[in-house]
């Protein structure tokens, strides 16, 4: 497992700055906690291993959303609720990341390897966060409303990440020197 990007690392600061600017400012979602979560999400997925974190019963990493959904269902049916919750959270994060940062790829390639199965990515991302929000016991009680909010604002979050992606493409433009200055 890859080490997390340190808290004060310039890349994490960049992601946080861009997420706050775009999610709070442009998209007008007045949820700093969600903007911060999206910045953390980008920092986590810098490591490709994090995208492939979910594994099936044989230990094989899953990259296909349909396979991840089946794995979450398998864990739920067998009573492994905490691992199932983590798979659902990962599915929501994975889908949100790709819809926000690589929407063109999703439109062209968002199919599953499983014959006869169709996955509507946005719907499944929202649904996965909604399922995570239903874990209302022990340490998850405090997080439940947050994941419900992620489900409720899923499209706005994806839009905010689209804006972050656009800003990242413009970093070499002198008009965006404010971002570089914020990192110094």
Q: DSSP secondary-structure letter at 58?
A: T
pLDDT value of residue 109: 73
Query: What does the CA dihedral 66, 70, 73, 74 come to, rounded to 10 degrees?
Result: -160
pLDDT of residue 113: 63
Return the closest-CA partner of residue 129 out of 118, 140, 114: 140
More confident residue, 9 or 184: 9
- Provide CB contacts within 8 A for 156, sequence distance 6+: 23, 27, 29
- DSSP states of 107-129: HHH---SSTT----HHHHHHHHH
Of the listed ranges 50-59, 110-119, 124-133, the one predicted with least confidence: 110-119
With beta carbons less than 8 A apart as the criterion, state whether 102 and 83 touch: no
Tokens of 23: 């999610």
Q: Confidence class of residue 173 from pLDDT cuts 50, 70 and 90?
A: confident
Q: Measured in Å, how far apart are the chain's first and last C-alpha atoms?
A: 29
Average pLDDT, the chain: 90
Name the residue with higher pLDDT: 5 or 2: 5
User: Does pLDDT of 43 surpass 90?
Assistant: yes
Closest to 184 in 3D by CA, of 13, 40, 42: 13
171 in Cβ contact with 34 (< 8 Å): no
């Amino acid at each position: 497992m890859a080490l997390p990007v340190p808290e004060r690392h310039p890349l994490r600061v960049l992601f946080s700055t861009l997420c706050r600017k775009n999610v709070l400012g442009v998209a007008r979602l007045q949820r700093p906690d969600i903007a911060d979560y999206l910045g953390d999400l980008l920092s986590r997925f810098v490591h490709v291993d994090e995208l492939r974190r979910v594994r099936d019963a044989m230990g094989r990493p899953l990259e296909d959303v349909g396979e991840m959904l089946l794995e979450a269902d398998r864990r739920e049916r067998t009573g492994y609720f905490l691992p199932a919750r983590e798979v659902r959270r990962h599915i929501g994060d994975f889908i949100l990341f790709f819809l926000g940062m690589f929407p063109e790829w999703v439109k062209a390639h968002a199919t599953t390897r499983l014959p006869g199965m169709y996955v509507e990515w946005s719907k499944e991302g929202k649904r996965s966060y909604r399922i995570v929000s239903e874990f209302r016991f022990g340490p998850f009680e405090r997080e439940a409303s947050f994941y419900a909010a992620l489900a409720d604002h899923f499209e706005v979050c994806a839009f905010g990440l689209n804006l972050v992606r656009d800003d990242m493409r413009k970093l070499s433009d002198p008009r965006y020197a404010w971002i570089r200055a914020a990192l110094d």
